[in-house]
């Protein structure tokens, strides 16, 4: 594809473009090297352009552990385009792969990295404002155990990078982020700061342990009423009830982050130590063996296990076992389709197996059937200021 000024881009994308009012993801390859990348596109006509802003933010964050690199940004036809490192599956993908429940060991290993990712973003004078499982992706290859933080379209500078002067306290702000994981202060209209990213992270960790949050599935006539119900449920659910059945360190975590004042700097080291001490007390080893690591290994063993024993006697399992294996293999197949090319820069991507010379043609063909980025489940919608 051309990049303007008579130059040719080094990237090619397949036909995977959604409508003109959303950010889309297309798989891509480097034309000369066939290196797989993630490509993020948005229409130049979108009401809320974010790719240029997001690209600049990635440049500021570049070099940090768990922050993908931007390879290229430019305009192609009617689209703004950002080319990113290719990453693995999101934590939401892996959560689903593991039957929507993660073990304490896996959650604690993740928590250690997640606190560090958020701390790094904050150290660069920005808050993320959309902390959720979808915005953390595992790496690929040698970095398959590294958590990466993505999707900075809603991020905001909370202080002056040079003077460290904090933004002023404000109220009557619109909800920005994802309602399910938004902090209570965000729900009631208070300007977000560092404390809110960490409260959202707390909800993510409990979501992984419990399998769901108490305010999921609430019904309402309008989105505004839905957000109000979620807010009310969060405020009326005691921390002890939210964390019931899990170690007291999670209650302590919420007490600490909810007690922070607007401009307070969180004690990230203390929060990490809180979970590390629990990890050691439980007798776990930091071996990067996550729940999905074990599940994939078990599936591999099941596929390679002999189906007949001595004397030709079959060693088949029960029909129920076979059905469970089929279900698990289906989940694995789905996950591997996602993880082989997955979501770089905030969305799912698939390896480029073919190339397209026209984004516009792909857009016209798929606009009627594809879902926009802002389409979420019942309480996962994004709201913009």
What letter does residue 179 receive in the DSSP assignment? Answer: G
Rounded Cα distance, 365 and 291, in Å? 39
Exposed, middle or buried, 230 (CB in 10 Å: 0-12/13-18/19+)?
buried
Q: How many CA atoms lie within 13 A of 54 on its CB side?
A: 31
Q: Which residue has the tokens 């999707």?
A: 151
Helix (H, G, I), strand (E, B) or coil at 8: strand
Rounded Cα distance, 356 and 363, in Å? 11
| Nearest to 208, CA basis, from 125, 138, 104, 302 | 104
- The catalytic residue positions are 130
Rounded Cα distance, 209 and 116, in Å? 20
Rounded Cα distance, 72 and 81, in Å? 8
| Nearest to 148, CA basis, from 209, 184, 94, 195 | 94
């Amino acid at each position: 594809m051309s990049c303007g000024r008579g130059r040719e881009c080094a990237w090619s994308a397949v036909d995977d473009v959604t409508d003109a009012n959303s950010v889309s993801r297309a798989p891509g390859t480097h034309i000369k090297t066939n290196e797989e990348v993630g490509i993020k596109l948005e229409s130049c006509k979108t009401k809320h352009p974010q790719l240029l802003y997001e690209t600049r933010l990635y440049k500021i964050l570049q070099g940090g552990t768990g922050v993908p690199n931007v390879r290229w940004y430019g305009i192609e036809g009617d689209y703004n385009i950002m080319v990113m490192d290719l990453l693995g599956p999101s934590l939401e993908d892996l959560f689903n792969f593991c039957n929507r429940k993660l073990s304490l060991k896996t959650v604690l290993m993740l928590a250690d990295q997640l606190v560090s990712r958020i701390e790094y973003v904050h150290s660069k004078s920005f808050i993320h404002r959309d902390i959720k499982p979808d915005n953390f992706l595992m790496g690929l290859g040698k970095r398959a155990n590294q958590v990466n933080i993505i999707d900075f379209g809603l991020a905001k500078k909370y202080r002056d990078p040079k003077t460290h002067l904090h933004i002023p306290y404000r109220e009557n702000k619109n909800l920005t982020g994802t309602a399910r994981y938004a902090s209570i202060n965000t729900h009631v209209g208070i300007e977000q700061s560092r404390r809110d990213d960490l409260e959202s992270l707390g909800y993510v960790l409990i979501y992984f342990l419990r399998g769901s949050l108490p305010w999921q599935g609430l019904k309402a006539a309008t989105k505004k009423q839905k957000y109000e119900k979620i807010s009310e449920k969060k405020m009326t659910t005691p921390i002890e009830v939210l964390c019931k059945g899990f170690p007291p360190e999670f209650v302590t975590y919420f007490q600490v982050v909810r007690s922070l004042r607007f401009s307070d700097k969180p004690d990230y080291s203390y929060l990490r130590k809180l979970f590390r001490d629990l990890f050691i007390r439980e007798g776990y080893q930091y071996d990067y063996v996550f729940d999905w690591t074990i599940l994939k290994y078990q599936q591999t063993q099941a596929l390679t296990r002999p189906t007949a024993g001595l004397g030709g006697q079959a060693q088949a399992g029960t029909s129920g076992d076979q059905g469970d294996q089929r279900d698990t293999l289906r989940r694995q197949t789905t996950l591997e389709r996602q993880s082989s090319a997955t979501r770089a820069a905030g969305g799912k991507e698939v390896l480029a197996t073919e190339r397209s010379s026209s984004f516009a043609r792909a857009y016209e063909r798929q606009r009627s059937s594809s879902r926009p980025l802002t389409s979420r489940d019942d309480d996962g919608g994004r709201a913009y200021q």
